[in-house]
Amino acid sequence: MDLYEQIIHQEAKVAVIGLGYVGMPLAIAFAKKQVKVIGYDVDQEKIALYQAGVDPTDEVGNEEISQTTVDFTSDISKLEQASFYIVTVPTPVNMDKKPNLTPVKKASQMIGSYLKKGAVVVYESTVYPGVTEDICIPILEAESGLSCGRDFKVGYSPERINPGDKVHRLENIIKIVSGVDQASLEEIAKVYELIIEVGVHRAESIKVAEAAKVVENSQRDINIAFMNELAMVFEKMNINTKEVITAMNTKWNALKFYPGLVGGHCIGVDPYYFVYEAERLGYHSQIITAGRKINDGMGAFIADALIKELVLTNKVVKQAKVVIMGVTFKENCADIRNSKVEDIIARLREYGIEPIIVDPWADPMEVKEMYQLDLPHMNEVTDADCLAFAVAHDEFCDLDWGALDRLFGQVPLEERIIIDVKSIYQQQEMERMGYRYWNL
């Protein structure tokens, strides 16, 4: 009986290492198929929430968390019970934009110390091509004393979960899978086919699978960078970017990308992994690097536009009450990792402004820890000089005129500034109502 058969007959366990926006839904999905699952994370507070039936990510919801059979734990010794390991730890970049592989290395060390013959290890964490075979496998072999290919198998299957997306879910996104040999590829594919309704794509090699992940996000990054550059130029031309895009999108082959802040754990990070490995091999990336430079500068560009509007409205900049609407990296999502709203905050602080942050999705404790700012309820805010809509949460898109009036309070109509990063409002309508309006 192979490992796949053991898993479906509950004679072998799957361990998911790292229970964030990727790992937790993955563990839940396997448990739904009557697979015995160990969900491991070093964060004891997070584990306590899961054990109490609370989903802080809002990816699957409290009901599913409370009903799942996943064994949520921070007890590392339980990894010894597993035979199929899936690594979903974060792979961020350092301050110098170079890959930080510490989490994936530590995960490899942990697994290696419990690895036994016949086991399979699959990495889902984003890495540059070569990391799995050149860095992770040697760690597994050194810690276990076993040989990859002979005693255990390794594969790579890049995560494709889109946090906050209730349409494109784990189960209906094609999963790329790969293995060190054909046998491991087929076994890994069969295990993932248990939970992926639309099937899997068998990549020719681990490096192909690793490259596919960083390239698909680099492609999006470059396209958004192009739109951001257009937005900056149209600002000088006094042309409304949204109106240009609307006109352009009437053509059948328009790509329908929009300008904006590019953060999060994928698009704002993955290109740096590709650039790092390319430069290590002697090639200096031009397009990807340029795209990253543009997108990394958008926070400061938006903040400067905000300051300009304050000046043109005769506000005393340091005394202006600026309210930033949204701090997560994308709409209808609680994830604040690598949110580029941070860049807007940092730039405003250079001008002596301490902005107020409003976000119905973000965790107040996380915001306090990361930005040293409290997170008041929207109903507590009034007399704002400027509302900067940085994230298009449904709660913001649904605000009526009365709600906007309450946020501005006693500020005269002609002095009310709206900075609309996501273009959730119509310029003509906002100006007709008397607001001073700017959109990206």
What does the DSSP assignment read for 177-210? EEESSHHHHHHHHHHHTTT-TT-EEE-SSHHHHH
At residue 305, does pLDDT exceed 80? yes
pLDDT digits (tens, 9 = 90+) for 191-245: 999 999 999 999 999 999 999 999 999 999 999 999 999 999 999 999 999 999 9
- How far is it, in rounded angstroms, from Cα 57 to Cα 237? 41
**pLDDT of residue 8 exceeding 80:** yes
Which of 266, 333, 386, 397 does the annotation list as catalytic?
266
Dihedral sign from CA coordinates of 196, 202, 205, 209: negative
8: tokens are 């479906």
State the CB neighbour count (10 A cutoff) for residue 44. Answer: 11
Q: What is the mean pLDDT of the chain?
A: 94
Side-chain half-sphere exposure of 89, counting CA atoms within 13 A:
21
Across 102-131, average pLDDT? 96
Q: 372 phi and psi, to 5 degrees?
A: 55, 40
What pTM did the predictor assign?
0.91
Question: pLDDT tens digits for 398-421?
Answer: 999 999 999 999 999 999 999 999
User: Is the confidence at residue 28, as pLDDT, over 80?
Assistant: yes
Lowest mean pLDDT among 30-39, 116-125, 167-176, 320-329: 167-176
Write out the two tokens for 357: 């942050």
pLDDT of residue 268: 85
pLDDT digits (tens, 9 = 90+) for 51-76: 999 998 888 889 999 999 999 999 99
Q: What is the mean pLDDT of the segment spanning 328-340?
A: 89
pLDDT in tens, 150-161: 999 999 999 987
Q: Which residue has the tokens 């255990």?
A: 152
CB atoms within 10 A of CB 134: 10
266 is catalytic: yes
Q: Which domains, and CATH codes, for the chain? A: 3-204 (3.40.50.720), 297-440 (3.40.50.720)
Grade residue 165 by pLDDT with cuts at 50, 70 and 90.
Answer: low
Which tokens in the block code for residue 96? Answer: 């110098």
Structure tokens at 138: 């040697």
Q: How many CA atoms lie within 13 A of 150 on its CB side?
A: 5
Percent of the chain with pLDDT over 70: 99
